[in-house]
Amino acid sequence: MLNHVFAFLIVVGILVGLSSALYRAQTGETVRKIVDGREVVEKRVYTTLDEKLKAIAAAGDRLTQEAINVSGFRYEDPVTHKEKSGAVGLAIDYIGIMALWLGFMKIAEAAGLIQLLARAIAPVFRFLFPRVPIDHPAAGAMLMNMAANILGLDNAATPLGIKAMKELQELNGQKDTASNAMCMFLALNTSSLMLLPVSVIGWRVAAGSTAPTTIIVPILIATGCGKIAAILACKLLERLSPDTPLVYDQPDSRGANEEGTR
Amino acid sequence: MKLAVEIINSWIIPFIFLFIVAYGYARRLKVYELFVEGAKEGFNVAVMIIPYLVAILAAIAIFRASGAMDLLAGAIAYFLPPSLVPSDIILLALVKPLSGSAARGVMLDIFSRYGVDSLPGFMASVIQGSTETTFYVVAVYFGSVGIKNTRHTIAAGLTGEFTGIVVSIILAHLYFAAK
């Protein structure tokens, strides 16, 4: 599936970029810019052939630059002039946050805290992830990730989610293919689960809303419907392809001092 | 009320840290050694997701920068009356599964053009709050463990996403009809 999406985005993106560059070289284009914090719309018309060819070349450069920018470390957004992180920058930022959370998680795991939490909502877990033993660290890590999502702790949710994926991968007998449990976990994760949409409220306040919190209940309803749809879709679609085999090596007896798999 | 929420929000993480360490220490665990052992994995995980991040972010950047995204939104808007779904909302719904920061930009753009308390502003807020960046999450989570065959994950995730968006649009219309 990701193969189709990737190919579609790149092929269609570049073909559209080329045709629109050719088109706009003929008709002229409007360019949005931010100058001194204000948005300015600039109209450009190309009359001579030389100008047209240059405009077409510039469009290609912009496309290339954008792809390079988001792959790199940090870059300046060409429109807003704000500094943004590329893929490498994001990953570097993650190293520390990830280490911090995985460190605390290890203590919680060794202390038996996570298993305690997992047992508290065992019935729900058994429905969603029938093949994940409730005492396995995967159950606890998934629970912690969902708790972080519910509380809106964005920078905790990702490290905890990745931790859960690593634990699920230990149960997975086919290492390059997603198990049913992984698909369900991701489907739950890809529809938001926030209790208090703090960031949206914040943006509404900043935009001068007179009733910034009216969206809380609608968001909860929409989120709930999205979740139910995702779970149902997952339960139905998982019948289309066989689940991956389980690895049956002592899932419960993993001690606190065991090294990670990698 | 708002202040109380803010205080709880700011103290949740320190409290989690406190609870974990205090509980572990009380159980006579070697908390420092355990922490370091767990933290060691952080580097590998973060470095491992780089190729997956580059692939997904570059593909999305090309699709957006070329104008293909706006074209697609325009094509869908052609079939939906703007009184039902404003065209900018369609763009937001298309952008959200791909990129969180881009979606935030579209939402703020809608706020400034229609007003935050307008129907499109309300709709954009609800969509922004009830959907996730599906492709980013899938790429990072599966990338971190090296899974290539994602099976039905994206289809299930997008079903949830689509449902959330449709419900958001309906709720916004209900809210403004009742007002």
- B46-75 pLDDT tens trace: 888 888 888 888 998 899 889 898 899 889
Residue A27: in which H helix or E strand, if any? helix A2-27
Contact A226 B24 (CB under 8 A): no
Q: What are the tens digits of pLDDT across the range A94-118?
A: 888 888 888 998 898 889 887 787 7
**Could you give the CA distance from residue B154 to residue B159 in angstroms, rounded to a whole number?**
8
The torsion defined by the Cα of B83, B85, B89 and B94, in degrees rounded to 10, comes to: -150
- Which residues in chain B are contacts of A167 at CB distance < 8 A? none
Compute the distance between CA of residue B150 and CA of residue B56 in angstroms, rounded to an integer.
Answer: 14
Scanning A111-206, the segments in alpha helix (DSSP H) are 113-120, 122-128, 137-150, 154-171, 180-190, 198-206
**For residue B30, which of A110, A1, A218, A38 has the smallest C-alpha distance?**
A110
Query: Would the ipTM clear 0.90, i.e. be above it?
Result: no
Once rounded to an integer, what is the mean pLDDT over residues A180-184?
Answer: 94
User: Which positions 28-57 of A are in contact with B (Cβ < 8 Å)?
Assistant: none
Residue A192 to residue B167, Cβ atoms within 8 A: no
β-pair partners for A39: A34
User: Which residues in chain B have their CB less than 8 angstroms from residue A138's CB?
Assistant: none
> How far does A49 lie from chain B, in Å, by closest CA?
22
| Interchain contact, A192 vs B116, CB within 8 Å | no
Average pLDDT for residues B151-172, to the nearest whole number? 93
First to last CA, chain B: 24
The pTM score is 0.80
Q: Which residues pair with A35 in a beta bridge?
A: A38
Q: Which residue has the tokens 């149960």?
A: A171
| CA atoms within a 13 Å half-sphere pointing along the CA-CB vector of B92 | 30
Report d(CA B173, CA B110) in Å as an integer. Answer: 17
Quickly state the pLDDT bin for A191 (edges 50, 70, 90): low
How confident is the model at residue A256, as a pLDDT? Answer: 43
Q: How far is A137 from chain B (nearest CA, A)?
A: 13
CA atoms within 13 A on the CB side of A235: 10
The residue-averaged pLDDT of A160-169 equals 90
Mean pLDDT, to the nearest integer, of B154-173? 93
For residue A255, the model assigns a pLDDT of 44
Contact yes or no for A190/A230 (Cβ under 8 A):
yes
Band of pLDDT at residue B119, cut at 50, 70 and 90 = very high
Closest by alpha carbon to A9, among B20, B51, B63, B103?
A: B63
Q: Which residues lie closer than 8 Å to B75 by C-beta, 6 or more apart?
A: none
Contact B93, B165 (CB under 8 A): yes
CB A140 within 8 Å of CB A118: yes
Q: Which residues pair with A43 in a beta bridge?
A: A30
Distance from C-alpha of A232 to C-alpha of B156, rounded to nearest angstrom? 8
B interface mutation test: which of A219, A236, A239 has the most B CBs within 10 A? A219
A171, A247 contact by CB (below 8 A): yes
Work out the percent of chain B whose per-residue pLDDT is above 90: 41
Q: List the alpha helices (DSSP H) in chain B.
A: 2-26, 31-48, 50-65, 68-77, 87-95, 100-114, 119-130, 134-145, 153-178
CB atoms within 10 A of CB A238: 20
Q: Say which residue the tokens 């409007």 belong to.
A: A30
Q: Are A124 and A227 in contact (CB under 8 A)?
A: no
- In sequence order, which residues have a C-beta less than 8 Å from that of residue A16 and are 6 or more positions away? B66, B67, B68, B71
Fill in the DSSP letter of residue A133: -
Hey, are the CB atoms on A71 and B42 less than 8 Å from each other? no
DSSP single-letter state for residue A32: E
The pLDDT, as a whole number, for residue B125 is 94
CB of A149 closer than 8 Å to CB of A157: yes
Q: Is A24 touching B (CB cutoff 8 A)?
A: no
Query: Within 13 Å of residue A227, how many CA atoms lie on the same side as its CB?
Result: 17
Mapped onto helix, strand or coil, the DSSP state of residue A30 is strand
Q: Could you tell me the CA-to-CA distances from B12 to A56, A154, A202, B27 in Å, in that order?
A: 52, 13, 18, 22
Closest CA of chain A from B67, distance in Å: 6
A111 with B23: Cβ contact below 8 A: yes
Confidence check: pLDDT of B12 > 90: no
Paired tokens of B128: 């922004």
Contact list, A66 vs chain B (CB under 8 Å) = 61-62, 64-65
Query: A85 by DSSP, 3-state: which?
Result: strand
Sign of the C-alpha dihedral computed for residues A262, B44, A112 and A179 taken in this order: negative
Q: Between B59, B64, B108, which is nearest A203 by CB?
A: B108
Q: Between B50-65 and A49-71, two packed helices, what is the crossing angle to 10 degrees? A: 150
Q: How confident is the model at residue A16 (pLDDT cuts 50, 70, 90)?
A: very high
Strand-pair partners of A85: A74
